[in-house]
Amino acid sequence: MNKKISFDVNFRSDVYSSIEEAIEISKRICLLSDIVKLSEDEISLLGEGFIKEELKDKMVFITLGKKGSMCSYKGKDTFAKSEPIKPIDTTGAGDAFMGAVLYKLDKEKEPNMEEVLSFANKIARECCLHLGAI
């Protein structure tokens, strides 16, 4: 079976006993994963060097808030802008984004990363237009 492991860092300080523990565990799981999703804040938490060097062979998705998103894969960075909106509730947007990414990756043998990102941005944007993730 050709299965992939994905990991959305989804950092929450209240889940760990310290930030150091959160960083250590997150890095360890990232290294075991094929697909990693990070936010801009999580990049600064784990360190750009770690992302560029240790995860260079992984499919890394980065959400950039209202700026859009990007994917680093096979030595190529792909960026997709987001459509401007007036968000009602951004809770769950990252989860919606990652769910959309995984859906597209599962459906396509050779995914076009620009299309994957655009689709995921649209799904995350839709999530932000409604109340209710929590």
* pTM (predicted TM-score): 0.93
CATH topology of domain 6-128: UDP-N-acetylmuramoyl-L-alanine:D-glutamate ligase (3.40.1190)
Pair of tokens at residue 52 = 């560029």
Tens of pLDDT, residue by residue over 46-59, are 999 999 999 999 99
With b for 16 or more beta-carbon neighbours within 10 A and e for fewer, the 102-120 pattern comes to bebbeeeeebebeebbbbb
Q: Looking at residues 64-85, what average pLDDT do you find?
A: 94
φ/ψ bin of 117: left (φ > 0), alpha (ψ from -120 to 50), beta (otherwise): alpha
- Asked if residue 40 lies in contact with residue 101, where contact means CB atoms within 8 angstroms, the answer is no
Tens of pLDDT, residue by residue over 57-74, are 999 999 999 999 999 998
**Domain limits of the chain?**
6-128
